[in-house]
Amino acid sequence: MKPRSWAAGILLSCFVLVSCADTPFRETVGTRLLMASVFDPTADRIWNAVRTEMTLEGTTEFRPETDEEWNAVRNAAVTLAESGNLLMIGSRVRDQNDWIAWSRDLISAGEMAMRAAEAQDPERLFEVGAEIYRACDGCHSQYWVGQFQPDDGRAVVEAGERFDREENE
């Protein structure tokens, strides 16, 4: 590398570090508590909006029926889409490649859910649920492997709080 381009690289790196340090964003919780308190309930609202329950008494189809119910689903989709941005702030960012890609996939899936809710299209919302799951599961498979055991028995929120304390100590 030429001395001049080497020096330019150092100056650019310093500029990026200073720019990042001056960010107006401030993380108030760690990633796991964010997942437990925002992402999980928001995704569940979308996934549970269109479902089929089968019991001994019969089969029941659930779909949003009123404008109010569809607005609640749309609001959850807005929250999910915008929350994808929260994963790309500060110390939550694990890397600049796959982490960012999974976060953007979640944003895109949230946007698709918003459009399905605005169109009041239960079939499309159900399909989009798979896109949300793909983004969540793909990221969890890559970055959250081994954090919890299936027979662990602890509530996700309790575990999220415990791990957040560890992250922030």
Q: What is the pLDDT of residues 131-151, one digit of tens each?
A: 999 999 999 999 987 555 444
N-to-C CA span, the chain = 40
Q: What 3-state DSSP class applies to 136? A: helix
Please state, rounded to an integer, the average pLDDT across all residues of the chain: 82
Read off the pLDDT of residues 40-93 as tens digits, 9 standing for 90 and up. 999 999 999 999 999 999 999 999 999 999 999 999 999 999 999 999 999 999
Q: Inform me whether the pLDDT recorded for 117 exceeds 50.
A: yes
CA distance 32 to 107: 18
Q: Inform me whether the pLDDT recorded for 164 exceeds 90.
A: no
